Amino acid sequence: MCAIFGRFRDASVCASRVKRLRRTRSTGCRATRMETRCQWIAYTTDETGQPNVYVQPFLRAGGKHRISPNGGRNPRWRADGRELFYLDATGTMTAVPIDLTASSPAGLAKTLFPAGAVSIHNMYAVSRDGQRFLVNKPQNAATATPLTVIVNWTSTLQK
């Protein structure tokens, strides 16, 4: 089943739409994101044999549109809904301009930077303007800086 994650402007409206989506969709889609006005949904599905990113109108007429030409996963919308970010099959962050009023909404994909291997959960976050990224990457244990926790540190203070 599809699950909707992310932030919504009108949570009550989107919540009712999410319930309807869960009742009507039973495909193997994952990493689903709602466009901020709850009009379009971006998701990853492997129905073609490899994960790809698609967008489609949310609970209204209109077909799905493939966004990632050579595989992709984990879509994220820019806050204004005019750009979609995803990780391509090689782990490269990719941006695609989106025109939600066009019959074919996706523009040409643009490679941004190599994100490399990212952790499974909360892979990355995009700033509202789409100019900054926070990427959650696993750290090599050999180069990790140890964390020291001092318990009861107030007892060491001079009185």
Long-range contacts of 103-107 (CB under 8 A, 24+ apart): 104/65, 105/40, 105/55, 105/65, 106/55, 106/65, 106/66, 106/67
CB 85 within 8 A of CB 75: yes
Helix (H, G, I), strand (E, B) or coil at 80: coil
The string of DSSP letters for 124-139 reads EEE-TTSS-EEE--PP
In the prediction, which pLDDT does 21 show?
A: 46
| pTM for the model | 0.69
How do residues 88-138 score in pLDDT, each as one tens digit?
888 899 999 988 777 777 888 999 998 876 656 568 889 999 999 988 877
Amino acid identity of 90? T
Token reading at 124: 């990355």
Query: Phi and psi for 13 in degrees, rounded to 5?
Result: -65, -45
Residue 155: pLDDT band (50, 70, 90) is confident
Average pLDDT of the residues of the chain: 75
In the prediction, which pLDDT does 29 show?
A: 52
What whole-number percentage of the chain has pLDDT above 90?
18
